[in-house]
A and B are shown apart, each in its own frame.
Chain A
C-alpha cells in the first residue's frame, strides 16, 4: 500500500514539471498552449497533494455526473475520478497496469471498463486520500455503478449516491437539482462541518460561468476551417473545466488559452499541415498514445476537431438568479457534460453526434468501440446503419482507450491510415 497520491506526485515531479521547463525553452507557436495546460494541471494536482497533508481539509472525490463548483463552495479540493486514469495511460503506463492488476486480483473481471478497473485498483492500492468523501451519481454506466460501491467499501469514507435521470429535459435537470438541494448539500454540511453559503456558491458559479463562456468562444473557434490549433491540445479547456470549474486558476488558464486561440483566428494562423479532413470522434479517444493526433494531422491531414462527448449539449452558462435556477443549471451541467451523455438511448446519442458533426463541419466520424464499454459497443448497430444511410463515412475501431495492450499504437494507426487512404481518398 503506497501513500495517498504518491504515484501521482511522482508523475508530476518526474515528468510534468521537466516537460514544462522544456516547453518554456522552445521557440514554437504551440508550446505556449502546452505551457498553459501543464501549469494548470500541475497547479491542480499540487493543490490536492497539499490538501492531503491537512486533515481538516477535505478532498472531494467525485464522479462526472457533477462538476466541481459546489465542492469549492464548501472549501474542498475536488478530484474527478474519471480523469484520473488518463494521468498515467500515456506517460506512466506501468502505474496504470499496476492499478488494473490490483483490481483484477481483487476479483473484478477484465471485461469491466478499464477506467473503472483503474479507479478501483488505485483505491485498493491506497492512491486516493483518506481525508476525503465521495459523491457519485447513478449515471451513466454499469462500470461506474459497480466501481463506486466497491470503492466505498475500500476507502471507508463518507459516500453519497445520487439518482441521475436518463431523460434529456428541463424537468429531469430540475429534479436532479432538487436532490442536490435535499441530499448533497446537507451531506456536504455534515462532512465538512460548514454551513452552505449561497453567496459563496453564487460567486463560484459566476467564476465558472466566466470560464464556460470563454470555452464556448473557443468551441466556436474550432468551427473555423482549417482548425487554428492542433487536436492534441484542443481538449484542454473542457478537461480543465471538468476538473476545476469555479476555481480562478481554471478561469485564468481558459482565458490565456482563449486569447491565444483568438489571436490565431484573427491573424489567420493555421496548423502547419494541410487540413484535408475534419474528424468527429465518437466516445473517448485513445489516451495511451500522446502523439496519435499529431500523427493523424501530419501524415493524413486529418484533424479531430471535436468529440461527441465534449461538444456538450448544454451550451448555456448557469443562471444565478436564485438557488433553484443555480442548482438546476449546475445539475444540468453535470449531467450533460462528459461521458454522462452515454446514458441516453441510442437515438438521442445519434442526435447529439450529428449536431456536433454539422456544427464543427466534419466530413467523417471515428467511433471508439471501447472493449469494456457495453454502452458504446451496443450502440454500434444503429450508429453504423444511420451513418450509412446519411452518407457519413465512419470508422469503428475496437480498442481500449486506456490500455495499449488491447490494441497498440501501431495497428491502431494502420486502421486509421487505411480508412483515410481508401474510404476518404
Chain B
C-alpha cells in the first residue's frame, strides 16, 4: 500500500528526507529523550521535536565504556548513536530522568554533545497535585530556556495552535485505533508501529496530512479472513517494527499496545478551551496511560489497559521488558497478579534487548504462548 510505504520510510531513519527538507529550509530539530517530555512546547516554538531512537543499531560497544552493562540497552543505544555522530543533525536535546538509566544518560549526553541547546527536564514521578505543580514548574523552565538560549518567545497563541495540531493527530490516531477493533484489523501491528514512529520523526502538520489521507485507504483495504489470536504488547523502549513483525509471523496479530512508542504518545485530547494552555497540556500528560516510573500510576494504567483489552477483544498480553528495566518488571508483576485475580487474559513475559528483532528462544516462547491461546 503506497500510503504505508511513506510511513515505513520515514520511520526507518531519524534523519529522513522530510527532516532533511525541514533543515534545508532553516528549521531546527530538538530531540526529546522520553514521551513524558511535553514536546508541544518545542513545537509551539516552531521547532521540530523528535523522540530520540536508534533504529538499525547493531551494538553499543562505544557506549558500553561510559554507561554500565546493567543500564538498559535503549539508553546505551541512544548514547551509541550520539557517539557515532548519528545525532549530529540535531540542534538540541531535552534530556530527562524518567528512570535511573535515563538519569545517567542525561549527564552523558550533556558531556559528549555540543548542542547549542541542552536542557535537563526533571520528570514528575507521581500523579497527584504535587506532580502537576512540578510538571508546570518544569514546563515553564523549558519555555524560559527556549527563550533565553534560542531567542524564541512562545506565546499563548503559539501554544493554542500547537494544541490544535496535536489534537488533530490524536483524533486521527484514535480513528486508526478504532479500525484495529475489526477482526482481522486492516493493518498489521508492524504497519501500525511504522505510523507511530513516523509521527515522532517528521513535522506534525505533514504527518497529519499523510495520516488523514491514509485512513480512507485503510478503510477500503481488503485483508484476508483470518482468526489469529489478538494480542496487546507492553514494554519499555519497544520501537522495532521488525520485532512486532517477528511476533506476528508466529501466527498472531498485535492489535493494541501500552508502549511509549505507541499509545502512550498519542492518547488523550488537550482541552482547547482551557484558559491556561500550559495547564491543559499538563493535564493531558497526567491523564494518559502512565509510564511505569510513576510510583502511583499502576491503577490508572490498569484501568486503561483493561478497557483496551475488553474493547479490542484482546486474548493475550505480551510483556516485552528490556533487560535491567526495573519499571517494566514492576508493572509486569502487578499486571500479571491483577489479570490473574480477575481471571482475565494471560501474559507472556519476554525479556529482550533494544535491538532484538528475533531470537530462537523468544520464538519458542511465543509459539508456546500462542498454542495456549
Contact = CB atoms under 8 A, between A and B. Distances in A.
Contacts of B130: 162-163, 175, 179, 183
Interface string A343-372: 101110000000000000000000001011
A194 to B, nearest CB: 23
A345 B295 contact: no
Contacts of A136: 295
A411 interface: no
B97 interface: yes
Contacts of A113: 326
Interface stretch (B65-73, B188-196, B206-214): B65-73
Given A145-B293, A161-B295, A166 B122 contact: yes
Nearest to B132: A163
Interface in B104-132: 104-108, 110-111, 120, 122-126, 128-131
A346 B68 CA distance: 14
Nearest to A144: B295
A162 B126 CA distance: 7
A149 interface: yes
A381 B69 CA distance: 11
A138 interface: yes
B127 to A, nearest CB: 9
A272 interface: no
Interface centre among A142, A165, A371 (most CB of B within 10 A): A142
Contacts of A325: none
A378 B330 contact: no
A332 to B, nearest CB: 16
Interface in A144-181: 145-150, 153, 161-167, 175, 179
B334 A153 contact: yes
B108 A175 contact: no
Nearest to A377: B68
A107 B336 contact: yes
B295 A378 contact: no
Nearest to B72: A374
A305 B128 CA distance: 41
Q: Which 4 A-B pairs have the closest CB atoms?
A: A146-B330, A378-B104, A138-B125, A381-B66
Interface of A: 106-109, 111-113, 136, 138-139, 141-143, 145-150, 153, 161-167, 175, 179, 182-183, 343, 345-347, 369, 371-375, 377-382
Given A138-B126, A143-B326, A374-B72, 15 more contacts: A111-B324, A111-B326, A111-B329, A145-B293, A150-B333, A161-B296, A179-B130, A183-B129, A343-B103, A374-B68, A374-B101, A374-B104, A375-B100, A378-B101, A378-B103
16 contacts: A111-B324, A145-B326, A146-B326, A146-B329, A146-B331, A166-B122, A175-B134, A345-B103, A369-B68, A374-B100, A374-B326, A377-B68, A378-B100, A378-B101, A381-B66, A382-B111
